[in-house]
Amino acid sequence: MSDAAEKVIDAVGLYCPEPVFQVKIGMEQMQVGQILQVSADDPAAEDDITRWASRSGHDLLGVSKDGSVVTIRIKKTK
C-alpha cells in the first residue's frame, strides 16, 4: 500500500457498529482526496466498512489482512 494515509484509525477491540462509526466520523473531518486507513478485528468490520465506503461514494483503495486484523484504506472523494 503506497500513499501515506492522512488519518489512521485503530478500531481493534471495537465491535459492530463502532468501527464503521469511527470511519464515518473520521471521513467527515477529512478533505477530498485524503486517505483514511482503519484497522479492525471485528469479524463484520470488512463488510461493514467496505459497504459503507461504496454507498458513500468513496474510493476503496485496498484491503489487507494480518491474522484477525483487517486494514482498509479509503480515499475521500466528496
The residues that are catalytic are 16
H or E, element range at 37: strand 35-40
* Alpha-helical regions (H) of the chain: 18-28, 45-56
Residue 15, sorted as left (phi over 0), alpha (psi -120 to 50) or beta, turns out to be beta
